Structure 1
């Protein structure tokens, strides 16, 4: 029986993912690294330091910088990202999400956030939906990033439910892998070929209908 919903943030509730990717792309260029669109896309859904290390790997610069220098790069990227976050309003909630959250509330489903972003609380406040959620996984408590299942296991633990009582939402392949490794039902938002590991895939958030998702969930 469905009791809870777990959401990634960037690219699922709002398109703050574009701010992340722009900030990372600009940092990469400053380091003399030109990322392909595929390489840039691979940064979706993974933690700040994992993203930076991947960029350095793409540029053949894995061993060029100290940990302190890497932390400075990550802080610089985050500063640029937060400048963009400050411009966000409830209008930046993706299509279909407000209706999905309202339908979940009507069914008394609990909801929480499983995002690698340390800025999740700030973003949710800017969007005006902070009070919709029963909890947010603190990325600082995690030992492993997506696609490891830890973040979704913690999100489920926060809600106090079993694996077959929750549905989790993601727009990134690494996130879907994380959900499935945690033993949960995965809803993917985006390209069905990229998100082929998900149990149910829709092209955009506007296509998310709780009744339809529950129908597929109950058949599993």
Structure 2
């Protein structure tokens, strides 16, 4: 048997719902630039970096801008986003998340964050979850966005655990693909039709138990 020794979690849409704040900031930027940015458009931004997200937004608006302007726009969006997340409280932790993290810790399973966000420390501090993680790898540590596996491979390295002994919890297709590319198991949080490449799909961490993790994730080794 290959035993799971570590769990790696995406942040947005898995631990907390900061996706709504990203959307509000991106939509605000789009309106300033003269076009509408819908929730459907926003789906394309899940799990990818800030600059890649900006490129998609500009594509939606049919705009081509030089790099200096794009950097300033990304900073403006992030400043608005930071204003929103500065008001976050522990009440915004998604259902079942804290309980599941504590269950893992109680069973000596290591825990890491693997997020494209550059604001993960601020968010985790505001909601009171920093101490629940053994390692935090985010947009400040990585150079390649999901579906590149870099963020999860770095997380496993920080934890001192082999990739095949890790499970990734993700709400985005790009994140599930990153887990697969890293040689890890994956649990999708959300729509089974979108996350159909995951080993398991649940609606939230409230559904997760060690029994479910063991029975559906463990596999026979060579």
Using the size of structure 2 for normalisation, the TM-score is 0.93
1:92 aligns with 2:113: no
Given that residues 164 and 184 in structure 2 are in contact (C-alpha distance below 8 angstroms), is that contact kept between their aligned partners in structure 1? Answer: yes
2:202 maps to: 202
Given that residues 100 and 209 in structure 2 are in contact (C-alpha distance below 8 angstroms), is that contact kept between their aligned partners in structure 1? Answer: yes
1:55 maps to: 57
Unmatched tracts of structure 1, length 5 or more = none
Deviations 1:94-151 (A, max 9, x none): 1010110111011111111110000001100111110111111142332211111111
- Offset, 1:57: 1.5
Measured on the aligned residues, the alpha-carbon RMSD in Å equals 1.3
2-structure distance, mates of 1:154, 1:132: 18
2:13 maps to: 11
1-structure distance, mates of 2:16, 2:122: 13
1:107 maps to: 107
Matches within 5 A, 1:158-173: 158-173=158-173
- Offset, 1:165: 0.8
Given that residues 100 and 205 in structure 2 are in contact (C-alpha distance below 8 angstroms), is that contact kept between their aligned partners in structure 1? Answer: no
1-structure distance, mates of 2:144, 2:86: 28
2:136 maps to: 136
2-structure distance, mates of 1:82, 1:114: 19
- Offset, 1:202: 0.5
2-structure distance, mates of 1:100, 1:155: 19
1-structure distance, mates of 2:210, 2:97: 10
Size of the aligned set, in residue pairs, is: 218
Unmatched tracts of structure 2, length 5 or more = none
1-structure distance, mates of 2:152, 2:67: 28
- Offset, 1:38: 2.3
SS at match of 2:174: helix
Given that residues 167 and 184 in structure 1 are in contact (C-alpha distance below 8 angstroms), is that contact kept between their aligned partners in structure 2? Answer: yes
Given that residues 21 and 43 in structure 1 are in contact (C-alpha distance below 8 angstroms), is that contact kept between their aligned partners in structure 2? Answer: no
Deviations 1:34-55 (A, max 9, x none): 2343221111111111100111
23-32 or 2-11, which deviates more:
23-32
